[in-house]
Structure 1
Amino acid sequence: MSYPFAGITVLDLTQIYNGPYATFLLAQAGAEVIKIEPPGGEHLRKRSGASGAAMPFAMLNANKRTMTLNLKAPRGRELLLQLVEQSDVLVENFAPGVMDRLNLGEKVLREANPRLIYASGSGYGKTGPYRDYPAMDLTVQAMTGVIDTTGYPEDPPVKSGPAIADFMAGIHLYGAITTALFERERTGQARTIEVSMMEAVYPTLASSLGLYYGSGGGAAARTANRHTGMSLCPYNVYPTSDGYIAIITNNEQHWRWLVEALKCPQLAEDERFVTVKQRVFNMDAVDHAIAEITRGYSKAALFDLLIKNRVPCAPVRTLVEVVNDPHLHERGSLRWIEHPEYGRIVVPTTPLRFSGEDAAVAYQPSARLGADTTAILEERLSLDAAQVEELRAQQVL
C-alpha cells in the first residue's frame, strides 16, 4: 500500500519522548526513518532495564530502522553528513548548542544538502533567557503553569499524570515537519524549523487563562475535577457504588437530560439550578446533590443509563481497562504483539488515519540497538563488510 510519506527519508537523532513521537508519526505515515543512536544507545533505551521502561521505548520506535554512530568522532560526523546528502529531513531534540558543538549546525547541514529540512525540538527554544535551562516534561509542566493549575485548591499542586509537555511538543514538531515538506514540494525551499515544549503547552491553558482573566486574578488556579474555567456545572467526577463516572453538561439541554435520566425533577425545579450561571454560582450544592444520586448506581449501570439519555459522560477507567479497550483494538489503534526483546506487549499504532490504509498493516516492532547499522551503511554509502568492521574497531559505530 502507498502511504503519504513513502519515499521520504528521515534521519532521527531524537531521544526520550518528544522527538521520537514526532518521528514515530512520520514512520507510521510511510517515511523511512533511520534512528541514529550513540554506541551505548539513546537515554530511553538505557532505561529499559528499569521496571516498565521498555514499554515506552517500544511504543515510540516502531517502524524505524536503527543504527549506531559516534557523532563525536570525526569519521562518525562524516558518515552522518553523507547520509544527510541522501535524506529529506533531519530531526533532533538535543539541548540548544549541542549540534553546533558537534560541528553539525544548520549551516553545515545545509551545505551538505540544500533541500534538507532541519527540525529541532527543545524545551524553551533556541533563543531567549530560558534557552539553556534543563527541560524535561516535569520541569516544563512547572514552568508553564500546568502544575500550579492541577489538583485541589486546598492541597499542594501536582503534575499532570501523562507526559503532556513531551507529547504536545512531539505532535507540534510532526506538524512543523509536514508543513515544511509541503512547502518544499510547492516551492523547492527547505526550511529549518524548531518547536519548544513550553510554547507547545501554552495553548492547553485556555480554560485556566479564561478563569484567571474572568476573575481578575482572584480565583483559585486549581479546580480539581471541575471545569478548569469554572464556567460549566455539572462538570465533575462523581462517585458510584464501585468507582467513579465523569459527567459534563455543556448546555441546558444536557442538564435537562441528566435530571430526567436520574429521575430527580426536584433539581430541575430548584431555582438555584435553573441556568448554567446559577448552577456555577451554586456549584457545591449541585455536585453534592448529583453525587448523592450517583452513589446508588454501579459505574456500568449509570453509564448505560446516561448514554441512553444522551448525557455526555464516561466511566473513570483503569489503565488495565484502557490497555484492553475493545474499541481501540477493533480499530487497530492498539494491538498485542510478541516483541522480539520485550515479550508480549500492547502497543499503539497511529492516531492519524489515511483513507484506504490500515493503521496496523505496516507495523514493525522497535529494533535492538544498531540492528540495521551494517545494512544502512552498505545500502546507502556503499561500504563493504570489511569497512563496517573497521569502523566498529575504531569505535565509530
Structure 2
Amino acid sequence: MSDLTPRYPLSGITVIDLSHIYNGPYATFLMAMAGAEVIKVEPLTGENLRSRGDLGGVALPFAMLNSNKQPVTLNLKTEQGRELLREMVQRADILVENFAPGVMERLGLGAAALHKINPRLVYGSSSGYGKDGPYRDYPAMDLVMQAMCGVISSTGHPDQPGVKSGAALCDFMAGIHLYGAIMTALYERERTGVGRVVEVSMQDATYASLASNLGMLHARGAEAPARTGNRHGGLGVSPYNVYATADGHIVLNAPGDHHFRAILNVMGRGELKDDPRFVSRTARVLNVDAVDALIEGWTRQHARDDVARRMLAAKVPCAPVRELSEVMVDENMHARGQLQWVDHPDLGRVVLMHSPLVFEGTQRRPIAPSLPMGASNAAVYGAWLGHSEQELAAFREQGVIS
C-alpha cells in the first residue's frame, strides 16, 4: 500500500461473508466501508435478496448492503466447493454466516473445523434465537422476531391490534450487534493471536430497544397499556406525540420543563407556563389529553415545515413527519456523505448509503456499487487463491462455481 492510499481502520482485513438478506450483510457492509476486503460467497442461484427485485422493481436493498464487496459463487454441497472455502479461510481474518444453527457443522465447516485450519479466524454467526436455547431450531425472519420480541404488541394505538414496525428492526439490530461482537473479538485477537467464535441472536439484540415500554410495565404492572400510539412508550413524557398541521404532521417532544415553556412561547401562549396542569412534566403527563389538545389546536393552523422551523429555532426537539422520498434526498445526510447519488450498473442513478461509522481524519471510502453474481470469481479463485484458468473451467463444468 502506497503512502498516498488512504488507510482505513480495517485495511488489510479479509472477510469471508456467507450471510444473506439483511442481518449478516449489514455487519459485513460496515466492515467493507471501514476498509476490509469482503468476499461475498453466494450459492450458484445467488443470494436470496437478489431475487426480491423480481416482484418489487429494482433490487435496491441488495445494492444498499453490498457495496464494496467482491461477489463469488460457490456450491458448498460439493466437496470441491467446501475445499475452496477452506482455502479462503486459511487466508482470511473473519468469517460471517447467518444460517440456521447446525448448518455449517453439517457441511463440515463449523467453527471448530475452521479453527483447525486457521486458529486466528474470528467466526461470527447470527440466528433468530441463538445456538443453545429451547427455541434454537425455530425459523426466524424479521416479522417473526418482531412478534416474539414484543415489538408488534407495543406498536400501534391502544384501541387497535398491534402492528409491525415499518423498519426491519430486528434484522438490523442484530447486524449492528454482530459487527460489534466481531470487532471486539478482532481486538482480542490482536493481543492474543487467537480468534474466537461470537454469536448474536436477533431476539437478544432487540430487547433493549423496548426499554421505555418495559419500564412502564415494571411501574404499572397489569395496568400498563400494551400500546401508546405515538405517545411515549413509557407514558413518562408530555408533550410527546405526532401532531397534525395544515399540510401534514410534525412530532414534538418536551423532555424538560424548559422545552415546554419554549413551546408555549412559540405558540404565543406564554401565560400558561404557571398553569397547574402544565407546570411540570409530572403534571403534563397527568393531563396529557389537555396538553395534546392545546398543541394541536395551534399546529393545525400552520404549515408543517413552518412549525418545525419555528420550534427548532427555539431549541425544541421537533421534526416534520417526512415521506421516504423526502428522506432519500435529505440535505444533511447528503452533505455528510452518508447518502450519495451513485450510477449503478444495473439500477441506474440511485441513492446509496455509506456507513454511519465516521472515522475522523480519513475520508469516507468511495462507494463501489454492488456487482453481478460471481463477478469476482476469477479475481478471488484465480488471482487470490492461485487456481489456473483450466481449474476454474473445471470448477464451472463440475457445478462448483458458476
Per the shorter chain, which TM-score range?
over 0.9
Aligned to 1:215, what secondary structure does the other structure show?
helix
Partner of 1:113: 118
Aligned to 1:10, what secondary structure does the other structure show?
strand
Asked whether the equivalents of residues 58 and 347 of structure 2 are also in contact (C-alpha less than 8 Å), the reply is no
Aligned to 2:100, what secondary structure does the other structure show?
coil
Q: Kindly provide the CA deviation profile for residues 127-179 of structure 1, in whole angstroms up to 9, marking residues without a partner as x.
A: 11111111100000000000000000000100011001000000000001110
Partner of 2:332: 327
1:52 Cα offset (Å): 4.2
Equivalents in 1 of 2:314, 2:13: separation in Å? 48
Partner of 1:100: 105
1:104 Cα offset (Å): 0.6
Equivalents in 2 of 1:153, 1:4: separation in Å? 47
Aligned to 1:193, what secondary structure does the other structure show?
strand
Aligned to 1:335, what secondary structure does the other structure show?
strand
Kindly indicate whether residue 376 of structure 2 is the aligned counterpart of residue 372 of structure 1. Answer: yes
Asked whether the equivalents of residues 250 and 308 of structure 2 are also in contact (C-alpha less than 8 Å), the reply is yes
Partner of 2:46: 41
Q: Kindly provide the CA deviation profile for residues 232-273 of structure 1, in whole angstroms up to 9, marking residues without a partner as x.
A: 000101111000110000111111111011111353232222
Equivalents in 2 of 1:58, 1:390: separation in Å? 30
Partner of 2:386: 382
Equivalents in 1 of 2:315, 2:73: separation in Å? 54
Specify which of 208, 211, 222 is matched with residue 213 of structure 2.
Answer: 208
Matches within 5 A, 1:1-397: 1-52=6-57, 54-359=59-364, 361-397=365-401
Equivalents in 1 of 2:395, 2:310: separation in Å? 66
Equivalents in 2 of 1:301, 1:81: separation in Å? 60
Amino acid aligned to 1:277: T
Asked whether the equivalents of residues 44 and 53 of structure 1 are also in contact (C-alpha less than 8 Å), the reply is no
Greater displacement, 331-340 / 261-270: 261-270
1:274 Cα offset (Å): 1.4
- TM-score, structure 1 normalization: 0.98
1:100 Cα offset (Å): 1.0
Quote the RMSD (CA, aligned, Å).
1.0
1:53 Cα offset (Å): 5.5
Between the two proteins, the alignment pairs up a number of residues equal to: 396
Equivalents in 2 of 1:190, 1:367: separation in Å? 30
Percent identity for Structure 1 against Structure 2: 53
Aligned to 1:250, what secondary structure does the other structure show?
coil
Amino acid aligned to 1:293: W
Aligned to 1:355, what secondary structure does the other structure show?
coil
Asked whether the equivalents of residues 121 and 194 of structure 2 are also in contact (C-alpha less than 8 Å), the reply is no
Q: Kindly provide the CA deviation profile for residues 92-151 of structure 1, in whole angstroms up to 9, marking residues without a partner as x.
A: 000111101111111111111111111001100001111111110000000000000000
1:275 Cα offset (Å): 1.2
Equivalents in 1 of 2:217, 2:76: separation in Å? 47
Amino acid aligned to 1:229: G
Equivalents in 1 of 2:252, 2:346: separation in Å? 41
1:51 Cα offset (Å): 1.2
Q: Kindly provide the CA deviation profile for residues 182-238 of structure 1, in whole angstroms up to 9, marking residues without a partner as x.
A: 000011121101000000000001000011011123111200110101000001011
Aligned to 2:264, what secondary structure does the other structure show?
helix
